[in-house]
Amino acid sequence: MFNPDRVLYGRLPDFRLSELGEKMAEAAAADLTSRGRPMARLVSSPLQRTQESAAPIAAAFDLPVDIDERLIEPTNHFEGKRMRGAGGALRDARNWPALTNPLRPSWGEPFRAIAVRMLAAVYDAWQSVPGEDTDAPGGDAILVSHQLPIWMVHAALTGARYAHDPRRRRCALSSITTLERHGDRFVEVGYTNPAAPLLATATDVGAV
Mean pLDDT (whole number) for 92-106: 89
pLDDT of the residue at 87: 74
CB-neighbour burial class of residue 83 (10 A; exposed 0-12, middle 13-18, buried 19+): middle
In order of 31, 65, 203, 208, the CA distances from 34 in angstroms are: 5, 20, 27, 21
Residue 84 pLDDT > 70: yes
pLDDT of the residue at 166: 84
19-76+109-201: what fold? Rossmann fold (3.40.50)
CA–CA distance, 9 with 7 (Å, rounded to integer): 6
Residue 132 pLDDT > 80: no
- Is residue 208 very low, low, confident or very high in pLDDT (cuts 50, 70, 90)? very low
CA–CA distance, 76 with 108 (Å, rounded to integer): 4
149-165 pLDDT, tens digit each: 999 999 999 999 999 98
pLDDT of the residue at 13: 84
> Of the ranges 33-47, 92-106, 194-208, which one carries the lowest mean pLDDT score?
194-208
Of 205 and 31, the structure prediction assigns the larger pLDDT to 31
Taken in order 19, 44, 207, 126, the sign of the CA dihedral is negative
3-state secondary structure the chain: CCCCCCCCCCCCCCCCCCHHHHHHHHHHHHHHHHCCCCEEEEEECCCHHHHHHHHHHHHHHCCCEEECHHHCCCCECCCCCCCCCCCCHHHCHHHHHHHCCCCCCCCECCHHHHHHHHHHHHHHHHHHCCCCCCCCCCCEEEEECCHHHHHHHHHHHHCCCCCCCHHHCCCCCCCEEEEEEECCEEEEEEEECCCHHHHHHCCCCCCC
Residue 73 pLDDT > 80: yes
